[in-house]
């Protein structure tokens, strides 16, 4: 018989980690599926670092609101356990997806990175540093929607702060035995060394994730943290183009994200702008039109169906600019046709 906690029925076990088991559950009030993390109450109360991680995640997710960030519903407590109830993603992690495909096409990787950029606009606005971005902490739904999760290692910046001046080193002794907190191969070198950090640590991790999407491996790997830091800071960043011939533009973008010195690393505004300029959207490409072509069609009275639809959507352009789907001052028209975003080009 399935266990019932409050209004939730625990169904299939989805996985287990060092401290928690994860179940698929169902809300008896509305039949909605949820994900439920189960922690031992005794371990929660006796392990300060675990308690901090759980409360960190709850605080962050209660403050964040984005289609591309996992939703947290509630925390429940019984005599023996703590239960955290989340939005359920009906597919798999990004890690599983990369493994199943070996590597992703540049177009698909860009589309997923666009969704990650949407998530981080919200994370950045709320002055949160995630600190643990990796494919296993990114979920995908069956419809291709990406969701960032696992905020247990996140830190909160005061709006006036530029960086966290003091931070525990990556080797942490608080959880029963010496463990590495997080996954070093995805972490910025300043975080690995326990130096003061700012929001750019997440930019570095996103660069590693982007690289792994494209090639199926991480650019720098070593089981020894000191050796890993040396490879990041002294090694060269190589792209196995024989495996996946990505564009020079994307190569250069990843190089900017993976600069070891955070002060030379790409700025967040430039990161967000890259995806607005690249204009990668799901959907079928129906027509390519610049403003010059649109004017020429109007002047020649070419009242074909697409031309008429293009003119009818001109009033929507200011709205599109406001939500960041249209590069300002680019001189390019963005049109919608049959609910698809149209790809487009500069002359």
Among 104, 107, 98, residue whose Cα is nearest residue 247: 107
Token pair 């625990």 in the structure block, residue: 10
Phi/psi of residue 313, nearest 5 degrees:
-95, 5
What are the C-alpha distances in Å from 225 to residues 18, 95, 187, 228? 21, 22, 10, 5
Among 231, 211, 232, residue whose Cα is nearest residue 103: 211
User: Any bridge partners for residue 9, and if so which?
Assistant: 4, 26
328: pLDDT strictly greater than 90: no
Instruction: Give mean pLDDT, residues 132-138.
Output: 96
How far apart are the two ends of the chain, measured CA to CA in Å? 65
What are the b/e assignments for 58-80, b being 16+ CB within 10 Å? bebbebbebebbbbbbebbeeee
- Domains of the chain, residue spans: 4-87, 92-278, 291-341
Q: SS in 3 state form for 292-326? A: HHHHHHHHCCCCCHHHHHHHHCHHHHHHHHHCCCC
User: Any bridge partners for residue 332, and if so which?
Assistant: none
Among 71, 60, 66, residue whose Cα is nearest residue 27: 71
**Cβ proximity of 43 and 53 under 8 Å:** no
312: pLDDT strictly greater than 50: no
Task: Identify the pLDDT of residue 276.
Answer: 84
Among 184, 147, 140, 188, residue whose Cα is nearest residue 61: 147
Instruction: Return the half-sphere exposure (C-beta side, CA atoms, 13 A cut-off) of residue 172.
Output: 19
**Cβ proximity of 77 and 107 under 8 Å:** no
Q: Which two tokens stand for residue 192?
A: 């690995």
Task: Identify the pLDDT of residue 164.
Answer: 61
Token pair 């960030």 in the structure block, residue: 69
104: pLDDT strictly greater than 60: yes
Task: Identify the pLDDT of residue 289.
Answer: 39
Instruction: Give mean pLDDT, residues 108-130.
Output: 96
- Check for a shared fold between 4-87 and 92-278: no
CA distance 248 to 235: 20
Token pair 């407590």 in the structure block, residue: 77
CA distance 329 to 317: 12
DSSP-derived 3-state class of residue 331: coil
| Superfamily the domain 4-87 falls into | Phosphorylase Kinase; domain 1 (3.30.200.20)
pLDDT tens, position by position, 220-236 = 999 999 999 999 999 89
**Cβ proximity of 23 and 12 under 8 Å:** yes
**Within a 10 A sphere around the Cβ of 121, how many other Cβ atoms?**
16
Phi/psi of residue 340, nearest 5 degrees:
-110, 140
Host H or E run for residue 230: helix 225-234
Q: What is the CATH number of domain 92-278?
A: 1.10.510.10
Instruction: Give mean pLDDT, residues 33-50.
Output: 94
The greatest distance separating any two alpha carbons of the chain, rounded to the nearest whole angstrom, comes to 77
**Cβ proximity of 346 and 330 under 8 Å:** yes
Q: Which of 27, 132, 261, 315 is catalytic?
A: 132
Percent of the chain with pLDDT over 90: 67
Q: Which of 143-157, 178-192, 201-215 has the lowest mean pLDDT?
A: 178-192
Q: Is 12 a catalytic residue?
A: no
275: pLDDT strictly greater than 60: yes
Positive or negative: CA dihedral 9, 66, 145, 258: negative
Host H or E run for residue 41: helix 41-46
Host H or E run for residue 10: strand 8-16
Q: Which two tokens stand for residue 219?
A: 């650019």
320: pLDDT strictly greater than 50: no
Instruction: Give mean pLDDT, residues 240-259.
Output: 97
């Amino acid at each position: 018989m399935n266990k019932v906690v409050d209004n939730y029925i625990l169904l299939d076990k989805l996985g287990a980690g060092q401290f928690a088991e994860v179940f698929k559950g169902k809300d008896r009030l509305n039949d909605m599926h949820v994900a439920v993390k189960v922690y031992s109450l005794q371990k929660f109360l006796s392990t300060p670092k675990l308690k901090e991680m759980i409360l960190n995640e709850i605080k962050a997710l209660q403050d964040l609101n984005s289609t591309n960030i996992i939703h947290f519903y509630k925390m429940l407590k019984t005599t023996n356990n703590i239960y955290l109830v989340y939005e359920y993603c009906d597919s798999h992690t990004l890690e599983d997806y990369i493994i199943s495909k070996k590597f992703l096409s540049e177009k698909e990787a860009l589309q997923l990175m666009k969704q990650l950029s949407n998530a981080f606009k919200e994370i950045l606005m709320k002055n949160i540093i995630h600190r643990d971005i990796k494919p296993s902490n990114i979920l995908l739904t069956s419809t291709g929607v990406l969701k960032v999760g696992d905020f247990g290692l996140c830190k909160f910046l005061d709006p006036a702060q530029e960086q966290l001046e003091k931070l525990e080193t990556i080797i942490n002794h608080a959880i029963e035995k010496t463990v590495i907190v997080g996954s070093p191969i995805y972490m910025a070198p300043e975080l690995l060394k326990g130096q003061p950090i700012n929001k750019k640590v997440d930019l570095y991790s996103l660069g590693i994730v982007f690289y792994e999407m494209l090639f199926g491996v991480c650019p720098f790997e070593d089981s020894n943290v000191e050796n890993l830091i040396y490879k990041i800071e002294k090694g060269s960043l190589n792209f196995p183009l024989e495996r996946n011939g990505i564009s020079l533009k994307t190569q250069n973008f990843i190089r900017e994200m993976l600069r070891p010195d955070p002060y030379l690393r790409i700025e967040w505004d430039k990161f967000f702008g890259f995806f607005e300029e690249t204009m990668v959207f799901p959907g079928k490409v129906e027509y390519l039109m610049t403003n010059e072509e649109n004017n020429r069609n109007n002047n020649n009275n070419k009242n074909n169906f697409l031309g008429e639809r293009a003119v009818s959507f001109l009033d929507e352009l200011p709205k599109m600019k406001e939500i960041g789907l249209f590069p300002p001052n680019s001189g390019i028209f963005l049109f919608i046709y049959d609910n698809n975003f149209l790809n487009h080009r500069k002359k």
